[in-house]
Amino acid sequence: MPDNFEPKIVGFFCNWCTSVAADMAGTSRMEYPANVRPIRVMCSGSVDPSYVIRALLSGADGVIIGGCHPGDCHYISGNFKARRRIAILRKIFETLGLEQERIYLEWISASEGRKFVQKITEFTEKLRKMGVSELSQNWES
Amino acid sequence: MATSDVLTELSKKALKDGIIGGVITLKRTAPDAAVHALITDMEMLEDVDSMIPYFPDNCANFIKRITKVAPPNKPILAILKPCEMRAVVELVKLVQIQNKNIIYATFDCYGTIARKDLKDKEIPKSQEFIKSVSDGKFELREICKSCDYIRSETADISYLTFEKDTLIVAQTETGKNFLEKLEVQFVESAPDKGLKSVLDIKLKAKTALYENLKSECSGTDNIFKTFAHCINCHNCMTNCPVCICKECFFESDAMDFEGDVFLDLASRKGGLRAPTDVMLFHIGRMAHMATSCVACGACEEACPEDIIVGQIFKWISENVQSIFEYKSGRDWEEELPLKTFREEELEPK
């Protein structure tokens, strides 16, 4: 692993909370690692597990999904469904002996710019330590 | 009388008395082949052995087809293996089978023989098979060897073999009504006798299978090796009873890109495998249907490359279902894990 390894992170951020939190972090001039490539989705519940798998197979070292706190979903129960789907996906990864730690689900509300920065930093640090994802490197995917 | 003969005789009687309009059963088409058939003519039932150890496809698919536009007005008796019954339950929950006027009958299943192992041989008669299956005379499908669902509790009627006798169990009101009309003797709860010792063997085999899969198929390299021969034909998906989407995500436009994107994908790793998206398809399919997988192994039978996809999916789905203490097709009432949620559960760590 090269010393200057910088993980690539794909972020699926809910339009109503985490995306706003990211904006807030920006307008408040808070700094966070530039490793994350944010994708705005309408709800964490709209993130199909296959998007996460595709990201991890196509070169991402980690995927973070940001949704509203339980009970706060704009669509009432999207985040609860996301939580089940991600739990299923992580179980599949665990069983197959893949690194489920590379899939991250976090509740970050629109007002939590600071939490957004903290979580992105935390996840980036963790992935830096984990190194390059084997899954992302295999050309046969 | 052997259980398979009892099944055939009762089917004939029910047809003759006009209690049912037809019977769905396995019927031989060649010495080494059989299909599911909807039979209305008593004479065509003459040589039928519903319990032959053969798995052409999951019969739940056929029942789905029959009830798709509208369920029949006259009852159909469907003779199914327990794994097929599990698939029926899942499909009813997934609103794919209109559960009306189908009477489900199952039997204790001792397993089936892989189609490729039967090529140019003869499918053994069920009686002969059951007699010597415990001696290891027949090589079962891997997924059957380790199947711990040999008796269905959701079917209307269960036909059980005890030594030389057949015990008929009515498990639902529908089953009871049917058997009363037929005027045959039946009981209302199944004794455990004999089941536990078979289950113990199966559970041991299952533990061994999972151990083996864990050492042979887990980890990035091993997974790619396992699916190395995949030609992405999607046979596993089309034959899967619980893969029900009309348009599959993995066959949709979401898989199509401009040439430049393919070039970009290739240049990221130096090359791009064709057919593309094999791993995405398999892991993605697991994520989509593992909560409903009934471990029937239809996928593995359909695989032209002999990939052990059925064993892998059985292993994955059992683990996935355990998160929700769910077992697909075990119960009519249990909610599908993806259709519901609890407010407090599975908090991400």
Encoded amino acid at A133, one letter: S
Separation in Å, CA of A100 to nearest CA in chain B? 12
Q: How confident is the model at residue B58 (pLDDT cuts 50, 70, 90)?
A: very high
Separation in Å, CA of A137 to nearest CA in chain B? 7
Q: What is the mean pLDDT of chain A?
A: 95
Element (H, E) at B77: strand B76-80
- Say yes or no for a CB contact (<8 Å) between A139 and B346: no
Any idea where the domains of chain B sit in the sequence? 3-205, 217-339
pLDDT at B196: 86
Torsional sign, CA B37, B38, B44, B49:
positive
Distances (CA, A) of B8 to B79, B131, B165: 10, 19, 15
- Say yes or no for a CB contact (<8 Å) between A48 and B249: yes
Is the pLDDT at B189 greater than 90? The verdict is no
- State mean pLDDT over B84-96: 97
| Nearest beta carbon to residue B269 from set A92, A107, A137 | A137
Calculate what percentage of chain A has a pLDDT beyond 90: 94
Separation in Å, CA of B325 to nearest CA in chain A? 13
- State mean pLDDT over B61-67: 97
Partner residues linked to B28 by β-bridges = B34
Assess A89–B contact: CB distance below 8 Å, yes or no.
yes
- Say yes or no for a CB contact (<8 Å) between B218 and A95: yes
Q: Is residue A84 packed enough to be buried (19+ CB in 10 Å), middle (13-18) or exposed (0-12)? A: buried
Residue holding tokens 């593995």? Answer: B300
Q: How confident is the model at residue B137 (pLDDT cuts 50, 70, 90)?
A: confident
In words, the CATH class of domain A9-136 is alpha beta
Q: What is the mean pLDDT of chain B?
A: 94
Assess B269–A contact: CB distance below 8 Å, yes or no.
yes
Tens-place pLDDT, residues A5-63: 999 999 999 999 999 999 999 999 999 999 999 999 999 999 999 999 999 999 999 99
pLDDT at A2: 63
Q: Is the peptide bond before B124 cis (omega within 30 degrees of 0)?
A: no
Phi, psi of A86 (to 5 degrees): -70, -35
Nearest to B300 by CA among B142, B110, B87: B142
**Which of the two residues, B40 and B348, has the higher pLDDT score?**
B40
CA pair distance B308, B300, nearest whole angstrom: 6
Tokens coding A43: 């709800």
Separation in Å, CA of A54 to nearest CA in chain B? 6
Which of B286, B317, B321, B340 to mutate against chain A (most A CBs within 10 Å)? B286
B128, B102 contact by CB (below 8 A): no
What was the ipTM of the complex prediction? Answer: 0.96
Q: Is residue A11 packed enough to be buried (19+ CB in 10 Å), middle (13-18) or exposed (0-12)? A: buried
Nearest to A67 by CA among A16, A7, A3, A125: A16
Distances (CA, A) of B279 to A96, B249, B272: 12, 14, 13
- Say yes or no for a CB contact (<8 Å) between B283 and A53: yes
Assess B339–A contact: CB distance below 8 Å, yes or no.
no
- Say yes or no for a CB contact (<8 Å) between A141 and B273: yes
Tokens coding B62: 């056929």
Tens-place pLDDT, residues B269-292: 999 999 999 999 999 999 999 999
CA pair distance B48, B9, nearest whole angstrom: 10
Calculate what percentage of chain A has a pLDDT beyond 70: 98
| Nearest beta carbon to residue A80 from set B221, B278, B341 | B341
Is the pLDDT at A3 greater than 80? The verdict is no
Separation in Å, CA of B297 to nearest CA in chain A? 18
Is the pLDDT at A1 greater than 60? The verdict is no
pLDDT at B2: 86
Tens-place pLDDT, residues A57-112: 999 999 999 999 999 999 999 999 999 999 999 999 999 999 999 999 999 999 99
- State mean pLDDT over B97-103: 96
Tens-place pLDDT, residues B4-31: 999 999 999 999 999 999 999 999 999 9
| Nearest beta carbon to residue A134 from set B214, B220, B286 | B220
Tell which phi-psi region holds residue B53, choosing left (phi > 0), alpha (psi between -120 and 50) or beta: beta
Is the pLDDT at B193 greater than 80? The verdict is no
Any idea where the domains of chain A sit in the sequence? 9-136
Tens-place pLDDT, residues B223-247: 999 999 999 999 999 999 999 999 9
pLDDT at A28: 96
Q: Nearest chain A Cα to B291, which residue?
A: A88
- Say yes or no for a CB contact (<8 Å) between B287 and A134: no
